[in-house]
């Protein structure tokens, strides 16, 4: 029996990249999936077609997670279409990269609005829906090593990810009495279209060789982790952070993987 059979799931920002990896793996595990996109309808429908090949129901929802009202609507639409919302995955992000003293504050604010407020709106709306249903649920927040590593030129993103880590732990303790689990995933450097915003293909390929695991991660690897955390196999897991980063968070820069300090 697939581990998510009969579960109903919404993943934000799931038309490509990590979000697409999540919905595909969860559909493979038997879940009905709602796919949220902001500006890529064709890609969202393509992901939905792949999910349907596993024999599950799909729903494609356009929406900006920075809009509280739209997030609440998407939660309600998912529950109405599938009969319930059992799993919510907060994944949608936005990021610009500039030094703090040179940053365009419009992009800085957009990063916070999407990556922090968007996550909060989703977690809150999903929790309200799950409390109303009365049979528990699972919330998974895709965060980042940026939450703990002060990577330069990424201040707004660092701030947002640090905030949602603490938000998730607080939500976990507030919702434990409702049997709603809240957990965090820290992906490493994952091979997604979004990385092409910041790096050329040559930079990506060369950079990957210098990672501890000698390669970038794949969206499906994050999807597998999310599918496990969302499933009943992880029923005793809440308020936790799972790191899936190929060793990026380790102090590997001090020895370049030579196994000694």
- Taking domain 8-254, whether its CATH number is 3.40.50.720 is answered by yes
Catalytic site residue from 37, 94, 121, 157: 157
Distances (CA, A) of 130 to 52, 101, 117, 126, 205: 25, 42, 20, 6, 42
239, 180 contact by CB (below 8 A) = no
- What is the residue extent of each domain of the chain? 8-254
Strand pairing class (137-142; 32-37): unpaired
Smallest CA-to-CA distance from 197 within 98, 73, 130, 80 is with: 98
Specify whether 157 is catalytic: yes
Contacts of 221-224 with CB under 8 Å at 24 or more apart are 221/21, 221/190, 222/18, 222/21, 222/22, 222/142, 222/185, 222/187, 222/190, 223/18, 223/21, 223/22, 223/23, 223/24, 223/25, 223/26, 224/25
Write out the chain's pLDDT in tens, 261 residues: 899 999 999 999 999 999 999 999 999 999 999 999 999 999 999 999 999 999 999 999 999 999 999 999 999 999 999 999 999 999 999 998 899 999 989 999 999 999 999 999 999 999 999 999 999 999 999 999 999 999 999 999 999 999 999 999 999 999 999 999 999 999 988 887 767 777 777 887 887 788 888 898 899 999 999 999 999 999 999 999 999 999 988 876 555 545 443
CA distances from 8 to 3, 81, 217 (A): 12, 9, 26
Which pLDDT value is given to residue 260?
43
Q: What is the pLDDT of residue 67?
A: 98
Question: What integer pLDDT is reported at residue 228 of this predicted model?
Answer: 98
């Amino acid at each position: 029996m697939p581990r998510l059979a009969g579960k109903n799931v919404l993943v934000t920002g799931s038309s490509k990249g990590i979000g697409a990896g999540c919905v595909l793996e969860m559909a493979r595990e038997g879940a009905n999936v709602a796919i949220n996109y902001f500006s890529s309808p064709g890609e969202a429908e393509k992901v939905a077609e792949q999910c349907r090949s596993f024999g599950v129901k799909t729903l494609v929802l356009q929406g900006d997670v920075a809009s509280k009202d739209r997030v609440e609507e998407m939660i309600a639409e998912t529950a109405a279409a599938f009969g319930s919302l059992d799993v919510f995955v907060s994944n949608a992000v936005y990021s610009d990269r500039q030094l703090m003293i040179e940053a365009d504050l419009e992009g800085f604010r957009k990063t916070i609005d999407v990556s922090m407020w968007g996550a909060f709106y989703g977690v809150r709306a999903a929790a309200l829906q799950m409390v109303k249903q009365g049979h528990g649920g699972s919330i998974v927040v895709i965060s980042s090593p940026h939450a703990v590593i002060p990577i330069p030129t990424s201040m707004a993103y660092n701030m947002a990810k640090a905030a949602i880590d603490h938000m998730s732990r607080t939500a976990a303790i507030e919702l434990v009495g409702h049997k709603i689990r809240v957990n965090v995933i820290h992906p490493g450097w994952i091979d997604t279209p979004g990385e092409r915003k910041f790096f050329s293909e040559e930079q990506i390929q060369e950079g990957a060789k210098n990672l501890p695991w000698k390669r970038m991660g794949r969206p499906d690897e994050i999807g597998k982790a999310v599918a496990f955390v969302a499933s009943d196999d992880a029923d005793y897991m809440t308020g936790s952070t799972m790191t899936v980063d190929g060793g990026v968070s380790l102090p590997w820069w001090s020895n370049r993987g030579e196994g000694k300090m």
